[in-house]
Amino acid sequence: MVESFSPRIVAFCCDKSGYVAADMVGKLRLSLPESLDIVRVPCAGRIDALHLLQALEKGADGVLIFACHEENCQSLTGNIRAKARMGYLHGIMERIGLEKERLDLCNLATNNGAKFAETVLQKFDELKKLGPSPVE
Amino acid sequence: MRSSKECRIAIVIDHCEGTLSHIFDEAMVRYFSGLPCVVSCYQDDNLSSPRRLEKLVAKLRKGKADRAVIVGGSPKRYEASFRRLDLGTGFNPYMFLVANVREQAVWTIPDVERAKEKTKTIVAKRIREATCLSPIGEEKFELSKNAIVLGGGVVGMRAALALADANIQVTLLSRAKDIGGKAIQLTHFYDRPGEVSSWFKDQVKKVKKHPNIAVKTSVELKGLEGSLGDYRVKVEDPSGKRREVEGSAVILAMGNDVIPNTEGIFGHQRFISPPQMEAMLADGGKSLVTDKERPLQTVTFILDLVNETIKIDSANAIKNAILLRENHDRAVYVICRDVKVSLDGMEKQYRKAREMGVIFIKYDDPPKFSLVNGQINVEVKEVSIQMRGDDYSLSILSDLVVVSERFVPSKDNQMLADVLGIPLAEEGFLMDENPQFARVRTNRRGVFIAGGCRYPQTLDESLVEAEAAAAGVTELLSQGFFGYDLAVAEIDPAKCAACLTCPRVCPHSAIVVERYAEGNVYVTGGYEKDFRWKAARVLPMQCYGCGICVSSCPTKAITLKHLTDDEISLQVGV
Amino acid sequence: MIKAEQKPVDEILDFLKPHRKILLAGCNACVAVCHAGGEKEVGILSSALKMARKKAGQKIEILEDCSTRQCEPEFVQELKEKAEEVEAVLSIACGVGVQTVARMFSDIPVYPGLNTTFMGETDELGVWIERCQACGNCVLHVTGGVCPVARCAKQLLNGPCGGSQDGECEIGNDVPCAWQQIYDRLKTIGQLHRMEEIIPVKKWGRESRDKGPRTISREDLKL
């Protein structure tokens, strides 16, 4: 049943931006899907290509990375590395027939609570249209 | 992961001042208590208070639990307090996990029943993750209270004075024969009365007389190595003799270099540089009069041909334009792309200049210069008042044209960047760690930057940086030791293939490759027992725990102690 | 060192089609250094393969392991227990490692997961360039430390061809002319006279494979 399908999203959040923004979503009392799992990492550069694939393999319909704005990473290139790894995985996903849209990145700042919620909800809708992950 | 018998988890429910009480009803508490490995359950009203947290730790120590999961608000709420707890007395701060149910469930899921369900999921996951926790210790080492300041200009001098006043022994190294640098070229402050030279002499005197400052002049910088607490600067004196200067921390204040603009027509004697202008005004305007006692009537400042993003030239031009109008009654034009007034009090000065009759002209296309009867004709198209495509081309016959010198990075920057691993910003200036929050700190612990080597700025701004850098060093050295916890990356030398990926990606130069491994992938046996192979090693006091190396390692030889791969795997699972 | 890159996943999937349980074996030496076949890549490839097969409705079980060096029989022997459990081995070592595995486990198919590309140096993180073709008779002492066999598109041994222009090779792509580099380097080290030394044609036997795979035999090391 497509109606009741609620996509499971794993969001990797950089402690310096994404995680604080996620907290802000709560403070603003904006709604987030219940099926969202937040994983806190010290820097987007900590996110291994393996973690992203694992999330998809373990049943996530979509994976989001919330990283600091480019040129604004406290570890200089952590966010760029995350982006590059995502690009590498997009290549693999394409070859195994997994939609690229299931793995995405959003650059934001600590005060972007609204943007966080918006991005998650947009992805949620997009994934709903896309349907459940074919590897589940 | 430990087996469930070994883990004894305490659940600590934080009601967050009653805001979560409707979630933590009896059924919920029962659910928590029934989760695997949970041995005890405590409740509190507000755990973000350090005193409350201390009380909790006391309770935990008496109880059976060896780790705790706090169910409440954002981890950010508690973590600052955790770190303040004395590691020796109680619970290791890394044996806590926080289930952020307030932000991630209660506040973002309006329906209470659903929020409760989500709370259960989050807590159950954190309980699983808690089984992976292990305590992380801390280390400290002594820091002697001495520092090195590189650069004998006003910025270096101000930093040295601030450090010396804080009872830190300073070695001030200067390439020039005497300390002072380029600031002597200034005659007036733009924003306050008083001459630079008297202030300047006073600074030099203070530095030379201060018992805590050792000045070494005429030394050439040859290298810099070491880490916090043990930096060694290599210098060479004119006779070619090399020696090392030691310090716990370093402030880099070598300033920037300048290249005068003398190409083509700019080589003509009626083109002068801003320091020449300053010098002319310094002697009371005597040199504003030519040989034939004929005064130089019209002075034009040309800005933004170089240094377009630097505001020094604007500040100096406005300052000198006012002096020229006020004391010498000359006609003054300032031709620029933008007037940069983002300085304390500068807007007032700009206004004053306009009111006194200084004419500001803005251009898009660089002005053209030609010689007309011994004067310089400046042709420029004014763009700020252009309307309906009207062409406001102006030609200004000037007796003196002041063109800026180009500010370029010091030649030492590249060398320092190479040996210290400090990145260079686009133009080649040394990069600060964070332009908003950590402007004078570099990515290397114990190395600070101030003044022109970071970016050319006006005197006042650079001096503020000098003080900030000195404050940073003082903060580091004041306790006499540097304590750090070991929540950092750690490399297993047996797995390391010495591929050099991690030292290359490390943003804080915290990884070195050393001979300390008992074996590596090339060992086939037959080598001496004491022989050590090269492997990468993390210097814990330099590491900021970002984890970039961990995710870059091709052999999975690196572990981030406070967030292992296992812990992440458990979180991404259903 | 030996440089390699991963084969496209779909190609690997294609030859794994008949199998339901495999061993994915990496190597922690050269191919780990070039981020193609170390423990990390084993994990990534394994995860990608499992997902692809799940999607195709034909699940695959993958055992993972990573040898210290797959070109040593002793290290490959350590995979034995796992190899006995599976239908096939997918090796992401270089071509050498794949063959050692094939020799050691003679009764099951062994597939290559990498394309072994060349012997090269690290230009910068993530960029590797070919530097040696193992021709078997090194001439680097004559050519100022720049190899014409590996770096000249025509593998010319005695000076450039007419396609060398402004230091660049006629094939384009910003490839420098190896002979220009040789000239510049010899000039810098004051050995320009080396340009006049004739490098003779390569010797058959030691420099090619017409006598079968080349072998190095050190009597003093043999047991």
Cα separation, B514 vs B524, whole angstroms: 20
Identify residues of C whose CB sits under 8 angstroms from chain B CBs: 28-29, 32-33, 35, 38-41, 43, 66, 68-69, 72, 122, 125
b/e burial code for range A17-41 (CB count within 10 A of at least 16 → b)? bbbbbbbbbbeeebebbbbbbbbbb
Is residue B4 assigned to a domain?
Answer: no
Q: A1 touching C, CB under 8 A? A: no
Cα→Cα distances B168→B202, B254, B479, B491, Å: 21, 20, 12, 36
Is residue B141 assigned to a domain?
Answer: no
pLDDT at position B328, please?
A: 84
Which residues are CB-neighbours of C107 under 8 A, at least 6 positions away? none
Q: Inter-chain contact A95–C43, Cβ cutoff 8 Å?
A: no
Is residue B442 assigned to a domain?
Answer: yes
Cα separation, B493 vs B73, whole angstroms: 39
The answer on B300 and B354 residing in a single domain is yes
Using a CB-CB distance cutoff of 8 angstroms, which residues of chain A are in contact with residue B508? 75
Answer whether B573's CB lies under 8 Å from A58's CB. Answer: yes
Nearest Cα residue in chain C from B555: C39
Give the pLDDT band (50/70/90) at residue B119. Answer: very high
Cα separation, B367 vs B389, whole angstroms: 19
Is residue B402 assigned to a domain?
Answer: no
Phi-psi region of C146 (alpha: psi -120 to 50; beta: other; left: phi over 0): beta
CATH code of the domain containing B421: 3.50.50.60
Please identify among residues 65-124 of chain A the ones whose CB lies closer than 8 Å to any CB of chain B: 74-78, 81, 85
Cα separation, C13 vs B537, whole angstroms: 38
The answer on B299 and B342 residing in a single domain is yes
The answer on B538 and B460 residing in a single domain is no
Cα separation, C174 vs C168, whole angstroms: 7
Which residues are CB-neighbours of A81 under 8 A, at least 6 positions away? A44, A45, B505, B548, B551, B552
Give the pLDDT band (50/70/90) at residue B124. Answer: very high
pLDDT at position B291, please?
A: 53
Is residue B403 assigned to a domain?
Answer: no
As given in the structure block, the two tokens for residue B322 are 């006012």
Choose one of B482, B501, B532: the last residue of a domain: B482
pLDDT at position A112, please?
A: 94
Choose one of B102, B135, B168: the last residue of a domain: B135
Cα→Cα distances C157→C167, C186, C209, Å: 17, 15, 20
C46-94, pLDDT tens digit by residue? 999 999 999 999 999 999 999 999 999 999 999 999 999 999 999 999 9
Is residue A93 assigned to a domain?
Answer: yes
Whose tokens are 């812990």? That residue is: B567
Residue B290, pLDDT above cutoff 80: no
Mutate to test the interface with B, among C6, C30, C33, C121 (most CBs of B within 10 A): C33
A30-87, pLDDT tens digit by residue? 999 999 999 999 999 999 999 999 999 999 999 999 999 998 888 888 999 999 999 9
Cα separation, B174 vs B197, whole angstroms: 20
Using a CB-CB distance cutoff of 8 angstroms, which residues of chain A are in contact with residue C48? 53, 92, 96
Q: A25 touching B, CB under 8 A? A: yes
Is residue A60 assigned to a domain?
Answer: yes
The answer on B195 and B100 residing in a single domain is no
Residue B541, pLDDT above cutoff 90: no
Burial of B342: CB neighbours in 10 Å, binned 0-12, 13-18, 19+: exposed
Complete DSSP assignment for B520-540: -TT--S-S-TT--EEEEEE-T
Give the residue, B375 or A107, on which the prediction is more confident. A107
pLDDT at position C205, please?
A: 55
CATH code of the domain containing B352: 3.50.50
The answer on B393 and B412 residing in a single domain is no
Whose tokens are 């109606």? That residue is: A3
For residue A88, count other CB atoms closer than 10 A to its CB. Answer: 14
Residue C55 has its nearest CB partner, among A48, A49, A96, at A96
pLDDT at position A21, please?
A: 96
Count up the domains in chain B and report the number: 4
pLDDT at position B85, please?
A: 62
**Any idea what DSSP says for residue B484?**
E
Give the pLDDT band (50/70/90) at residue B474. Answer: very high
Mutate to test the interface with C, among A96, A100, A103, A136 (most CBs of C within 10 A): A96
Nearest Cα residue in chain A from B553: A48
The answer on B293 and B375 residing in a single domain is yes
Q: Classify C66 as helix, strand or coil.
A: strand
Domain interval for residue B525:
486-572
The answer on B391 and B417 residing in a single domain is no
C194-213, pLDDT tens digit by residue? 999 999 887 755 666 667 77
Cα separation, C1 vs C27, whole angstroms: 14
Q: Inter-chain contact C32–B554, Cβ cutoff 8 Å?
A: yes
Return the beta strands (E) in chain A as ranges: 9-14, 36-41, 62-67, 103-107
Q: Report the Cα C96 to chain-centroid distance in Å.
A: 8
Cα separation, C98 vs C112, whole angstroms: 6
Burial of B227: CB neighbours in 10 Å, binned 0-12, 13-18, 19+: middle
Is residue B174 assigned to a domain?
Answer: yes
Give the pLDDT band (50/70/90) at residue A4. Answer: confident
The average pLDDT across B171-184 equals: 87
Count up the domains in chain A and report the number: 1
Q: A129 touching B, CB under 8 A? A: no
Nearest Cα residue in chain B from A43: B546
Using a CB-CB distance cutoff of 8 angstroms, which residues of chain B are in contact with residue C122? 500
Give the pLDDT band (50/70/90) at residue B1. Answer: very low
Least reliable range by pLDDT among A2-11, C76-85, C151-160: A2-11
pLDDT at position B477, please?
A: 93
Nearest Cα residue in chain B from A64: B572
In chain C, the domains with their CATH numbers are: 2-118 (3.40.50.2300), 133-223 (no CATH)
Q: Inter-chain contact C47–A50, Cβ cutoff 8 Å?
A: yes
Is residue A3 assigned to a domain?
Answer: no
Give the residue, B261 or A10, on which the prediction is more confident. A10
Residues in chain C: 223
Domain interval for residue A17:
9-128
Residue C120, pLDDT above cutoff 70: yes
Q: Regarding beta strands B230-236 and B242-247, do their DSSP bridges make them parallel or antiparallel, or are they unpaired?
A: antiparallel
Using a CB-CB distance cutoff of 8 angstroms, which residues of chain A are in contact with residue C49? 96
Using a CB-CB distance cutoff of 8 angstroms, which residues of chain C are in contact with residue A92? 9, 44, 48
CATH code of the domain containing A108: 3.40.50
Is residue B327 assigned to a domain?
Answer: yes
Q: How many CA atoms does the CB half-sphere of A97 hold within 13 Å?
A: 13
Is residue A59 assigned to a domain?
Answer: yes
Is residue A1 assigned to a domain?
Answer: no
B332-358, pLDDT tens digit by residue? 999 999 898 888 889 999 999 999 999
Task: Please name which of C66, A6, C158 lies closest in space to residue B555, comparing C-alpha atoms.
Answer: C66
The answer on B491 and B434 residing in a single domain is no
Please identify among residues 525-554 of chain B the ones whose CB lies closer than 8 Å to any CB of chain C: 553-554
pLDDT averaged over chain B? Answer: 87
The average pLDDT across B315-327 equals: 90
Is residue B2 assigned to a domain?
Answer: no
B369-419, pLDDT tens digit by residue? 999 888 899 999 888 776 666 777 889 999 999 999 999 998 888 888 887
Choose one of B110, B135, B160: the last residue of a domain: B135
B202-208 contacts at long range (C-beta below 8 A, 24 or more positions apart): B203/B154, B203/B157, B203/B158, B203/B161, B204/B157, B204/B179, B204/B180, B206/B161, B207/B157, B207/B160, B207/B161, B207/B172, B207/B179, B208/B179
Answer whether C34's CB lies under 8 Å from C128's CB. Answer: yes
Is residue A77 assigned to a domain?
Answer: yes
Q: C54 touching A, CB under 8 A? A: yes
Q: Inter-chain contact A50–C9, Cβ cutoff 8 Å?
A: no
Residue B65, pLDDT above cutoff 90: no
pLDDT averaged over chain A? Answer: 93
pLDDT at position B524, please?
A: 66
As given in the structure block, the two tokens for residue B274 are 């801003």
pLDDT at position B412, please?
A: 83
